[in-house]
C-alpha cells in the first residue's frame, strides 16, 4: 500500500486536486483552483483558490453518491467566520454527468474521471481505516517521526494550504491545467545530505547545495541519502545553475 496519493481533475477553467499525504491521517484534502480572466491559473501559494479537508465519514458519504446509493450529498464546512458549501451530485438519475461544487468552484467529471475518483476514494478509505485507526507500534513510530517539523496533521486548513502549496505527486504526467501549476517549480531527483530547521542540503550530481525549505513544495521523506523527488522553486535552481 502506498503512503500518499495525489490525483488532479482539470477542465478548461477549473481544477480540483485530491491529496492524501499519509495513510495514517484520517482525512484527505481537495485543492480547488480556476483560471483567472488574464488566463493564469490561481496559485494556492498566493492564498488563491480553496482547500477543504474531508473526514473518513465524509468520504463514505461521497462514495455512496458515486455508487449511486444517493443522487447527492451536500454539507457546509465552517472555519472561523466563513462557511463553505460543498456538494457531490449526479445531474440526474439516468446520465453519467457528475458535479463537484465547492464554494464557487464547480467541476463536471466525465465517465472516466468518475470511475477514477470512485476507485481512488475506495482504496484510500480502506487504507486509512486500517492505518489511521491503528494503535500498534508502527502507528506510534509514524506519529513520532512526523512531529519534528515535517508534520502537518495538526495544522488548520489555511496553514495546510500554504504548507502544501501546489504539491502534486511526482508520478503524475502534467495535463494542460497542471502545466500552469508547475511553471514556477521543477521536479528534480536528489537526496538529503544534511538538514537544519530551515534548509536541506541536497546532492545534485556532484554538487551539494543548501536549499531553503520554503522553496521545496512537496512532502518529502526526511531520511538521508535516499534518492527521491523534490518540487523546487525554479529561482533557487537557476541561482545555483542547476537548471538554465
Does 180 have pLDDT greater than 50?
Answer: no
Does 172 have pLDDT greater than 50?
Answer: no
Average pLDDT over every residue of 4-33: 91
Domains defined for the chain, CATH in brackets: 5-152 (2.30.31.10), 184-239 (2.30.30)
Q: Give the pLDDT of residue 4.
A: 86
Q: How confident is the model at residue 132 (pLDDT cuts 50, 70, 90)?
A: confident
Does 149 have pLDDT greater than 50?
Answer: no
Q: Give the pLDDT of residue 1.
A: 60
State which H helix or E strand residue 109 sits in: strand 105-109
Q: For all residues of the chain together, what is the average pLDDT? A: 79
Average pLDDT over every residue of 118-122: 96
What Rg, from alpha-carbon coordinates, does the chain have? Answer: 19
Q: Which of the listed ranges 67-76, 149-158, 173-182, 205-214 does the model predict with the highest average pLDDT? A: 67-76
Average pLDDT over every residue of 159-188: 45
Average pLDDT over every residue of 128-153: 57
Strand order in the sheet with 228-233: 207-212, 199-204, 185-195, 228-233
Amino acid at each position: 500500500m502506498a503512503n500518499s496519493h495525489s490525483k488532479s481533475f482539470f477542465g478548461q477553467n477549473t481544477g480540483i486536486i485530491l491529496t492524501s499525504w499519509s495513510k495514517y491521517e484520517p482525512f484527505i484534502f481537495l485543492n480547488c483552483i480556476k483560471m483567472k480572466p488574464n488566463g493564469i491559473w490561481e496559485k494556492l501559494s498566493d492564498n488563491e483558490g480553496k482547500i477543504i479537508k474531508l473526514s473518513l465519514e465524509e468520504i463514505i458519504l461521497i462514495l455512496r453518491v458515486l455508487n449511486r446509493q444517493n443522487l447527492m450529498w451536500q454539507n457546509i464546512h465552517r472555519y472561523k467566520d466563513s462557511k463553505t458549501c460543498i456538494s457531490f451530485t449526479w445531474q440526474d438519475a439516468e446520465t453519467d454527468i457528475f458535479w463537484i461544487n465547492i464554494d464557487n468552484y464547480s467541476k463536471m467529471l466525465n465517465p472516466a474521471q468518475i470511475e477514477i475518483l470512485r476507485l481512488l476514494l475506495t482504496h484510500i478509505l480502506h487504507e486509512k481505516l486500517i492505518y489511521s485507526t491503528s494503535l500498534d507500534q508502527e502507528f506510534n513510530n509514524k506519529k513520532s517521526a512526523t512531529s519534528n517539523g515535517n508534520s502537518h496533521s495538526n495544522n488548520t486548513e489555511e496553514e495546510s494550504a500554504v504548507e502544501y502549496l501546489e504539491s502534486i505527486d511526482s508520478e503524475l504526467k502534467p495535463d494542460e491545467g497542471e502545466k500552469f501549476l508547475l511553471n514556477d517549480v521543477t521536479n528534480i531527483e536528489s537526496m538529503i545530505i544534511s538538514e537544519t530547521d530551515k534548509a536541506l542540503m541536497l546532492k545534485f550530481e556532484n554538487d551539494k547545495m543548501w536549499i531553503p525549505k520554503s522553496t521545496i513544495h512537496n512532502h518529502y521523506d526526511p531520511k538521508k541519502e535516499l534518492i527521491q523527488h523534490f518540487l523546487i522553486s525554479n529561482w533557487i535552481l537557476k541561482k545555483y545553475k542547476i537548471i538554465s
